[in-house]
Amino acid sequence: MTRQAAEVYTLYRLPFEPRWFPVFYSVAEQPGQSVGELAQVIGHTHVAVSQVVKELVKHGLVSTKRGKDDLRRSVVTLTENGAALWPALQEQVGDVHLATEDLLAETRHNLWLAIGEVEYALSQHNLASRVKAVRDRRMAAEVQVLDYASPYQADFKRLNVEWIEQYFRVEPADLKALDEPDAYILNPGGHIWLAAYRGAVVGACALIKMDAQTYELAKMAVSPTAQGLSIGSRLGEAAVAKARSLGAKRVYLESNTKLGPALKLYYKLGFRKTVTGTPSPYERCNIQMELHLTP
């Protein structure tokens, strides 16, 4: 269609490139716009519009000058040659419009309406976000949530030490649970999950029994290499579901307010800041949250 559009300009003996049209038309309709304003109106990038303006200036069809109210701002207007070209271009536009209507009448689907629908859909969610969503779903489908077994102890410790050292320091209470998860988590009635992705263990989470009706969500860690796969959500949901199946009435956790993404996840899971806190064995803890489970 671009090649045939060029033939149309030749038919009308107009020294014009099809790709110039959106910029030239916008300048003719409303002189005095800046390159940025033209880019916004047309829906093209600033760089692309700037390049076309330079070509139009080179061919003597538009000129740029400093704005009257803002000397830092360059505005674009038609030259005498551009103004002389404009009436013939308008005639061509009218003829192209009628020819296009005839073309569409010969087709089963109205291309212009379809383009409009696609543009509207892209204005709601752009193409990059749509591709990201598809990619994330594909990658998330490859994540496996596994029950803890002794061969995973090194991974359980590695993942937790990795995130703790990124923000804080590893404390004695950490090492007790990470070095001996059987004694401090599993044997008292807790549970541990690991998340595996493409053969590597990239996430961990524990549910620690505090009393007959309360469990602690703890030791959640996701490798930086596996961010964006909803691993934290999967692990957190597994822990909450397990606590509910065990008859728990409450799930409790400790965190730090500098861990924004983690707190966002906890709120999404239904946790809220507790009013009456419990003494914490961790120096880094400055926020405690709880989730009350309904039967």
Whether 106 and 191 map to the same domain: the answer is no
Question: Which long-range CB contacts under 8 A does 59-62 form with residues at least 24 apart?
Answer: 59/15, 61/20, 61/24, 61/85, 62/24, 62/27
User: In the structure encoding, which two tokens stand for residue 36, read together?
Assistant: 């940025």
Residues 111 and 181 in one domain: no
Q: What integer pLDDT is reported at residue 227 of this predicted model?
A: 83
| Per-residue pLDDT tens digits of the chain, which is 295 residues long | 888 888 998 998 988 999 999 999 999 999 999 999 999 999 899 999 999 999 999 999 999 987 666 656 789 999 999 999 999 999 999 999 999 999 999 999 988 899 999 999 999 999 999 998 898 888 888 899 999 999 999 999 999 999 999 999 999 999 999 999 999 999 999 999 999 999 899 999 999 999 889 999 999 999 998 888 889 999 999 999 999 999 999 999 999 999 999 999 999 999 999 877 678 888 899 999 999 997 6
Same domain, 152 and 104: no
Q: Are residue 10 and residue 107 in the same domain, yes or no?
A: yes
Q: Give the span between the Cα atoms of 13 and 59, in whole angstroms.
A: 15
On whether residue 132 sits in a domain, the answer given is no
Q: Kindly report each contact of residues 8-17 with a partner whose C-beta sits within 8 Å and lies 24 or more positions away, as own/partner.
A: 8/92, 8/96, 9/92, 12/88, 12/91, 12/92, 14/85, 14/88, 14/89, 14/92, 15/59, 16/85, 16/89, 17/55
Residue 191 belongs to a domain: yes
3-state secondary structure of 250: strand
Q: How far apart (Å, rounded) are the C-alpha atoms in residues 44 and 46?
A: 7
Q: Are residues 203 and 103 in the same domain?
A: no
The number of distinct structural domains making up the chain is 2
Separation between Cα atoms, residue 120 and residue 113, nearest integer Å: 11
Q: Is the pTM of this model over 0.75?
A: no
Shared-domain flag, residues 111 and 229? no
| DSSP three-state, residue 196 | strand
Residues 155 and 71 in one domain: no
On whether both 72 and 211 belong to a single domain, the answer is no
| CATH number for the domain that contains residue 245 | 3.40.630.30
Residues 200, 77 share a domain: no
Handedness of CA 76, 79, 81, 86 (dihedral sign): positive
Structure tokens at 227: 């961010």
172 and 283 in one domain? yes
- The β-bridge relationship of strands 250-255 and 214-222 is parallel
- 78 and 150 both lie in a single domain: no
| Amino acid at the residue 53 | V
Q: What is the CATH number of the domain that holds 12?
A: 1.10.10.10
Please report which residue ranges of 59-188 form alpha helices under DSSP H: 80-105, 111-124, 127-140, 153-167, 172-179, 181
Structural domain range at position 189: 143-292
| CA–CA separation, 112 and 178 (whole Å) | 62
Same domain, 115 and 152: no
For the record, the structure tokens of 279 come out as 């003494």
